[in-house]
Copies of this chain bind each other. A is one copy, B any other.
Amino acid sequence: MDQNKIPQATAKRLPLYYRFLNNLNQQGKRRVSSKELSEAVKVDSATIRRDFSYFGALGKKGYGYNVEYLLGFFRSTLDQHEVTEVALIGAGNLGTAFLKYSFLKNNNIRITKAFDADSSKVGKDIDGVPIFHVSDLEEELENIRVVILTVPASEAEEIAEKLVNLGVNGILNFTPARITVPSHVRVHHIDLAVELQSLVYFLKHYPLEKE
């Protein structure tokens, strides 16, 4: 299968499916219906069936999907055997929340280093992740290519530039700043204010009905 043929919208749901199937497998469940999956991951079952059809996984009527088969498939698709090291830049409240977020410990991503501008935090660790000073990025970042950016908005652009110069090509930007990077660098941006404003907007303009 040519993975570039998976639509991006489908690709975005893969980690979600993977985690739920992993939980099922750990509970000893052998099969799952698209309806159960749908209720658990909050994606409608028609979408799930379409998504799965891209991987050639076709559920059987009255049986559903084989959990182990799907899991093997997702594991290789998501490269669960290959660990990606990630650095956290900015160990404030949001950064600390990331470091303590235990669900990150179940998958193929490891936050191995954190950086902060506050010298009093340097040399300590949060949940086992050592904190370095941001001025030591050049020496300490090493082969890390993916970062989570949780610095103050005013610092975001300058630090992003520095990170890109050090070889970073993936940034999960949690600052409200929109950062400018070269074309080969992927930035996923999550803006807390925008998320909240969207929810409020949808509540007003797309009210849901009581069933």
Contacts and interface: CB of A to CB of B under 8 A. Distances in A.
Interface of A: 3-4, 6, 8, 11-12, 14-16, 18-20, 39-42, 78-79, 84, 86, 92-94, 96-98, 100-101, 103-104, 106-109, 145-146, 148, 153, 169-170, 172, 176, 178, 180, 182-211
Contact of A205 (B3, B96, B193): B3
A183 to B, nearest CB: 4
A101 B176 contact: yes
Nearest to A101: B192
Contacts of A211: 182-184
A207 B146 CA distance: 13
A189 B195 CA distance: 10
Nearest to A98: B192
Contacts of A178: 20, 40-42
7 closest A-B pairs by CB = A15-B197, A94-B97, A93-B97, A183-B211, A103-B176, A184-B210, A103-B193
A149 B97 CA distance: 14
Given A101-B176, A188-B198, 20 more contacts: A11-B206, A14-B198, A15-B194, A79-B204, A84-B200, A93-B93, A93-B94, A93-B96, A98-B192, A101-B193, A103-B193, A104-B196, A106-B193, A108-B197, A109-B196, A145-B203, A146-B199, A170-B203, A183-B208, A186-B199
A172 B195 contact: yes
